[in-house]
């Protein structure tokens, strides 16, 4: 048995419990976890790129990090973990706190990590199909958001198997989120729907600032993907936030296909949990629940996408197997319509035959700043209605699926024949403690050095 012992990330630990300083301790956290939105020209109203801007907003930063408001990551990570999770560890939160309490020292600026760069260019290279919304001017006002859907014909004359999807926001400052769905209806030309709280059809991807492209999992034996049917349209459901009035956008979605003869294991998207029969009386908090099952076969679950509208308060969803094991799927303690999307499990989750999936959620229809005159609200698709649905991506289980990683992490992935390589980081070299390059060796501590500047110390115990 090979066991991998990871003694990871020694670097961010330095300074913990001591006197943290900006250059060595704080900037590395902000650069990795905040700047994707908080850079000049990014979606967030505040840039956190410089020491001066961080210091002058220190109180607010301490507040939003200690309450868990920032970075925005709605799922409760004590309940379930996901791929691409962007959260702060307890150490990082207390490092920020200690730094502020100790007068926010700048430290030695020659030790600052390299400033990350943000563009809206593609990480995956030339796509097989690119669809773009017509140039659109946001109608969001200073106190209301703009939700609009564009259904765009693909022009495909045959079915294709999707290998990867990437959304390229036309304007990093206005595109708050984008949901991508395969439209069930055929259109000859682009159809625009305003006041669109969610796309109709098979939802396949959700983008928010800092999102990674979706590359369907692949291993030696399996290629996973989704079929994009001939003559279909693809819907982009756009969310432009308050204050973006008059700004222009022309977001694109890029599709990368498998070679036509690839045998894929097709991932299904389905609204397994949906309740369209509820009413939320004014001035009440109401709980809505629903279940699905028992399941008729073993399934491998890839992701979950919970959806409520503006009165949603919290939600929870889990499966119970026929032998009474509970499998946690998702829990959101503070539902925020602004931050929603697919949450991909770290590996496929096996839901055995005979399981029942349970979901419940609370809606707050009492008076508040955003709901000053509550009226009774019913389930429905419109902005003024509410929804209670959980969309899942899944497929029939095969032995070993639970070991297949969904996050692409450090594995370089061949998107298609065109040799496009995508990787979040690549291994540059392995060295001994003394700095000599070496091959992986058991029972010896070695340093794994990656191109993004991270270093891991590993011992492989044989
Ligand atoms: C995915 C994008 C995103 C990430 C990542 C992110 N923020 Fe934000 N942040 C926002 C947006 C957008 C706002 C504006 C308010 C809102 O929409 O919630 C905001 C607001 C703020 C505010 C102002 C709050 C106020 O009341 O005005 C602070 C401070 C802040 N963020 C700090 C951080 C810190 C620190 C991090 C990293 C630990 C971070 N944010 C990560 C998007 C992000």
User: How far away, in angstroms, is 11 Cα from ligand 1 center?
Assistant: 25
Q: How confident is the model at residue 209 (pLDDT cuts 50, 70, 90)?
A: confident
Atom of ligand 1 nearest to the CA of 71: 41
* Residue 37 CB–ligand 1 contact under 6 Å: yes
Position 415 pLDDT exceeds 60: no
pLDDT tens string 129-151: 999 999 999 999 887 889 999 99
CB 226 within 8 A of CB 162: yes
Q: How confident is the model at residue 8 (pLDDT cuts 50, 70, 90)?
A: very low
User: How far away, in angstroms, is 392 Cα from ligand 1 center?
Assistant: 28
User: Whose CA is closest to 313, among 262, 366, 269?
Assistant: 366
Atom of ligand 1 nearest to the CA of 86: 5
pLDDT of residue 440: 73
Half-sphere exposure of residue 15, counting CA atoms within 13 Å on the CB side? 25
Position 124 pLDDT exceeds 90: no
Q: How confident is the model at residue 115 (pLDDT cuts 50, 70, 90)?
A: very high
Top pLDDT among 89 and 427 is at 89
Top pLDDT among 449 and 36 is at 36
pLDDT of residue 60: 96
| b/e 400-430 (16+ beta carbons within 10 angstroms → b) | ebeebebbbeeeebebbeeebebbbeeeeeb
What 54-60 contacts at long range (C-beta under 8 Å, 24+ apart), as own/partner pairs, is 54/22, 54/26, 54/30, 54/104, 55/22, 55/104, 58/100, 58/104, 59/100
* Residue 61 CB–ligand 1 contact under 6 Å: yes
- Residues 6 or more apart whose CB falls under 8 angstroms from that of 262 comprise 161, 223, 225
Least confident of 105-109, 187-191, 224-228: 187-191
| C-alpha span between 93 and 49 (Å, rounded) | 18
Q: How confident is the model at residue 436 (pLDDT cuts 50, 70, 90)?
A: confident
pLDDT of residue 9: 41
| C-alpha span between 34 and 71 (Å, rounded) | 6
pLDDT of residue 357: 98
Atom of ligand 1 nearest to the CA of 60: 29
| C-alpha span between 58 and 45 (Å, rounded) | 15
Position 250 pLDDT exceeds 90: yes
pLDDT tens string 311-356: 999 999 999 999 999 999 999 999 998 888 889 999 999 999 999 9
Position 247 pLDDT exceeds 90: yes
- Residue among 46, 73, 206, 337 whose CB has most ligand 1 atoms within 8 A, to mutate: 46
pLDDT of residue 421: 33
* Residue 57 CB–ligand 1 contact under 6 Å: yes
pLDDT of residue 141: 86
| C-alpha span between 155 and 132 (Å, rounded) | 13
* Residue 33 CB–ligand 1 contact under 6 Å: yes
Across 407-425, average pLDDT: 40
User: Whose CA is closest to 300, among 347, 350, 352?
Assistant: 350
Position 78 pLDDT exceeds 60: yes
Across 177-196, average pLDDT: 89
Position 451 pLDDT exceeds 80: no
Residue nearest ligand 1's atom 11 by CA: 44
User: How far away, in angstroms, is 127 Cα from ligand 1 center?
Assistant: 32
Across 187-194, average pLDDT: 91
pLDDT of residue 430: 78
Top pLDDT among 336 and 364 is at 364
User: How far away, in angstroms, is 43 Cα from ligand 1 center?
Assistant: 9
Half-sphere exposure of residue 224, counting CA atoms within 13 Å on the CB side? 24
pLDDT of residue 447: 77
Atom of ligand 1 nearest to the CA of 63: 29
Q: How confident is the model at residue 450 (pLDDT cuts 50, 70, 90)?
A: low
Across 212-238, average pLDDT: 92
Mean pLDDT over each residue of the chain, to the nearest integer: 87
Position 13 pLDDT exceeds 60: no
Position 71 pLDDT exceeds 90: yes
Q: How confident is the model at residue 417 (pLDDT cuts 50, 70, 90)?
A: very low
91's tokens: 């150490």
């Amino acid at each position: 048995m090979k066991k991998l012992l990871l003694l990871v990330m020694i670097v961010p630990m330095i300074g913990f419990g001591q006197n943290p300083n900006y250059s060595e301790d704080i900037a590395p956290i902000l650069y990795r976890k905040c700047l994707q939105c908080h850079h000049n020209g990014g979606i967030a109203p505040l840039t956190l790129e410089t020491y001066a801007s961080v210091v002058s907003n220190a109180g607010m930063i301490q507040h939003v990090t200690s309450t868990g408001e920032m970075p925005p990551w709605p799922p409760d990570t004590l309940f379930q973990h996901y791929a691409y999770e962007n959260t702060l560890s307890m150490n990082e939160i207390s490092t920020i706190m200690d730094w502020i309490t100790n007068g926010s020292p700048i430290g030695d600026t020659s030790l600052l990590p390299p400033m990350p760069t943000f563009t809206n260019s593609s990480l995956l290279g030339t796509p097989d199909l690119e669809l773009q919304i017509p140039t659109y001017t946001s109608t969001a006002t200073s106190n209301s958001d703009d939700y609009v859907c564009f259904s765009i014909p693909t022009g495909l004359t045959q079915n294709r198997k999707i290998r990867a999807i990437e959304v390229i926001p036309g304007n990093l400052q206005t595109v708050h989120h984008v949901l991508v769905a395969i439209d069930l209806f055929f259109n000859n030309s682009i159809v625009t729907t305003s006041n669109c709280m969610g796309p109709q059809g098979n939802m396949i991807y959700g983008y928010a600032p800092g999102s990674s492209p979706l590359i369907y999992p692949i291993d030696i034996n399996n290629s996973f993907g989704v079929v994009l049917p001939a003559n279909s349209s693809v819907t982009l459901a756009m969310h432009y936030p308050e204050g973006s009035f008059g700004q222009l956008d022309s977001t694109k979605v890029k599709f990368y296909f498998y070679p036509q003869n690839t045998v894929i294991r097709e991932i299904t998207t389905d609204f397994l949990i949906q309740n369209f029969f509820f009413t939320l009386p004014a001035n009440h908090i109401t709980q809505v629940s629903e279940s699905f099952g028992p399941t008729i076969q073993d399934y491998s679950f890839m992701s979950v996408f919970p959806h409520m509208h503006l009165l949603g308060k919290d939600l929870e969803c889990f499966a119970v197997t026929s032998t009474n094991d509970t499998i946690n799927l998702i829990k959101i303690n503070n539902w925020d319509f602004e931050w929603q999307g697919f949450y991909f499990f770290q590996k496929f989750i096996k839901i055995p035959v005979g399981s029942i999936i349970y979901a419940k959620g609370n809606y707050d229809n009492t008076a508040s700043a955003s709901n000053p005159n509550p009226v009774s609200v019913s389930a429905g698709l419109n902005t003024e209605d509410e929804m209670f649905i959980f969309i899942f991506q899944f497929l029939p289980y095969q032995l070993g699926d639970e070991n297949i990683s969904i996050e692409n992490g450090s594995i370089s992935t061949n998107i298609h024949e065109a040799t496009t390589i995508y990787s979040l980081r690549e291994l540059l070299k392995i060295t001994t403690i003394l700095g000599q390059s070496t091959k992986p060796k058991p029972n010896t501590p070695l340093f794994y050095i990656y191109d993004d500047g991270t270093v891991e110390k590993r011992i492989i115990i044989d």
